[in-house]
Structure 1
Amino acid sequence: MIATFPTTLASQIEDLLPQTQCTKCGYPACRPYAEAIAAGQASYNQCPPGGEEGVARLARLLGKPVIALNPENGVERPRPLAIIDENLCIGCTLCLQACPVDAIVGAAKQMHTVIPELCTGCDLCVPPCPVDCIAMITVTGDKTGWDAWTQPQADAARIRHDQHLARLARERDAAEARKAARVAGSAKPVEPAISGDRVVKTAAATPEDEAQAKKRAIIQAAMERARKKKEELAKLGAAPKNIDSVSPEVQAQIDAAEARRRRLGLTDVNSEPDSDSANDPDA
């Protein structure tokens, strides 16, 4: 006999949300919003992508009356699609970092593009773009809310967001491993100490030391692969067209964002290292 477990109220609420992960509800993603509704900390009319139909669905589940969408959270609208102007893109990666479903493809100093089938129209990539090269184009005509968004699309977006969070967790773990490897690599070996006729034995290499050395080797190999990949892409001309006209103010904004990523441990080993940090596994 297969054991079954009751679905929590938060999970039932989450199942009814459009999973655009747009944060317009005032929460960082659809799941935290669902948990807040279940806990009585948020109202069920704060999701503009769900629109009136979304409010009605939640009202039926919660046994509450249908109310108007809260205008403070936004308005119901046709679903937009993010489009990147390649003539203006500078390859700063800020839009990649903002996308909650990894719908943007690109790398540092490489051309970025949006995968239309994956974009949820959340708008989150627009504010961080320092050169305003991202436009939100309506793709559903007059259809709004759930009329402009299907359940299969919502389910797929939810899976991609979960994968996005898992990737960030892996990057943080990798950053911690690089830091540990760096600390282990900088430790100086202890020389044997002579005391009278006795020789004080030094500590032998531990399994942890060997593991850290292996991690350092893996990181160096990954960085070398990234360097070769960058050279190959450069030969194909896969580079932004506007990179030479970046102002000092915009470059300072990009540098600040990358510094925040490094502090948070979100810098990927496959990203482009600076010349000063090419030999630093923790950079």
Structure 2
Amino acid sequence: MTTYSVIIILTMIALIVGAMLGYASIKLKVEADPIVEKIDTILPQSQCGQCGYPGCKPYAEAVANGDDITKCVPGGQPLIIKIADLMGVEPPEMDGEAAPEEMVAFIDENMCIGCTKCIQACPVDAIIGTNKAMHTIIPDLCTGCELCVAPCPTDCIKMIKSKQAIKNKPRKFDENLIIPIINISDNPTEFHNEK
């Protein structure tokens, strides 16, 4: 048997097996539950595990199969209402319990050593900073999953009760850092004449 005939035989076998696999993938395709996909879409995708499941997709599957819709801590009450609307059920009563307040992480910048462990732990990229430099939280992105708290070696990350606490915090800035805006016209000679 020549080399060419071996190549032709192997090519024919590969084509036949490929055709069989293609046919099987179409014929035996498992349809995903559309309600699971819709629930997963509205979940915060922080993969924090506070619901008791390893991620948002397994929790979406559990909710579609009848599990409690109030387990997503980062989503809070607005998410519970969205899931209830999607499922066509009434949002559950809190039975006299106050709804959990929305929490966000806060870094005590005086204690931060710039180790970047919190950045690696954050699933939504809400922490900015670089190695050996101070880090800070972007409160609008923080879901309150608390995954950044445990890896911090200096315990400089705390959870605070509201995004408003950070948004309303007065910002201090150095006025010497403001760069003045100079209007330069198309004619450079006019600019030189002003001097």
TM interval, short-chain normalised = 0.5 to 0.7
Gaps of 5+ in 2: 1-30, 166-195
Name 2:134's counterpart in structure 1: 111
The yes-or-no answer on 1:32 pairing with 2:55 is no
Residues 17, 50 of structure 1: 8 Å contact kept: yes
Which has more helix, going by share of residues? 1
Among residues 133, 137, 140, which one is paired with 2:156 in the alignment? Answer: 133
With the length of structure 1 as denominator, give the TM-score of the two structures: 0.39
The yes-or-no answer on 1:12 pairing with 2:38 is yes
* Alignment RMSD: 3.4
Give SS of 2:104's match: strand
Alpha-carbon distance between aligned partners in 2 of 1:6 and 1:31, rounded to the nearest angstrom: 12
Residues 95, 104 of structure 1: 8 Å contact kept: yes
- Alignment map for 1:143-158 (pairs within 5 Å): none
Give the deviation of 1:36 after TM superposition. 2.7
Residues 125, 134 of structure 1: 8 Å contact kept: yes
Alpha-carbon distance between aligned partners in 2 of 1:65 and 1:9, rounded to the nearest angstrom: 17
Name 1:59's counterpart in structure 2: 84
Alpha-carbon distance between aligned partners in 2 of 1:108 and 1:34, rounded to the nearest angstrom: 36
Distance 1:110 1:51, change over 3 A: closer
Give the deviation of 1:6 after TM superposition. 9.1
Alpha-carbon distance between aligned partners in 2 of 1:26 and 1:76, rounded to the nearest angstrom: 19
Larger Rg: 2
Give SS of 2:158's match: strand
User: Identity of counterpart residues, as a percentage?
Assistant: 50
Give the deviation of 1:100 after TM superposition. 0.6
* AA in 2 matched with 1:36: A
The yes-or-no answer on 1:92 pairing with 2:102 is no
Among residues 37, 46, 49, which one is paired with 1:23 in the alignment? Answer: 49
Name 1:120's counterpart in structure 2: 143
Residues 43, 79 of structure 2: 8 Å contact kept: yes
Give the deviation of 1:12 after TM superposition. 1.2
With the length of structure 2 as denominator, give the TM-score of the two structures: 0.54
Question: Deviation string for 1:5-55 (max 9, x for gaps)?
Answer: 9981111112333445442211233233112323x2743221234444433
Residues 49, 77 of structure 1: 8 Å contact kept: no
Higher RCO structure (Cα 8 Å, ≥6 apart): 1
Residues 52, 69 of structure 1: 8 Å contact kept: no
Alpha-carbon distance between aligned partners in 2 of 1:69 and 1:50, rounded to the nearest angstrom: 15
- Alignment map for 1:1-283 (pairs within 5 Å): 8-38=34-64, 40=65, 42-68=67-93, 76-140=99-163
Alpha-carbon distance between aligned partners in 1 of 2:164 and 2:132, rounded to the nearest angstrom: 35
Residues 51, 59 of structure 2: 8 Å contact kept: yes
Alpha-carbon distance between aligned partners in 2 of 1:68 and 1:20, rounded to the nearest angstrom: 25
Alpha-carbon distance between aligned partners in 2 of 1:17 and 1:101, rounded to the nearest angstrom: 13
Gaps of 5+ in 1: 143-283
Alpha-carbon distance between aligned partners in 2 of 1:77 and 1:8, rounded to the nearest angstrom: 29
Q: How many residues align?
A: 134
Alpha-carbon distance between aligned partners in 1 of 2:139 and 2:48, rounded to the nearest angstrom: 16
Alpha-carbon distance between aligned partners in 2 of 1:59 and 1:82, rounded to the nearest angstrom: 28
Distance 1:55 1:118, change over 3 A: closer
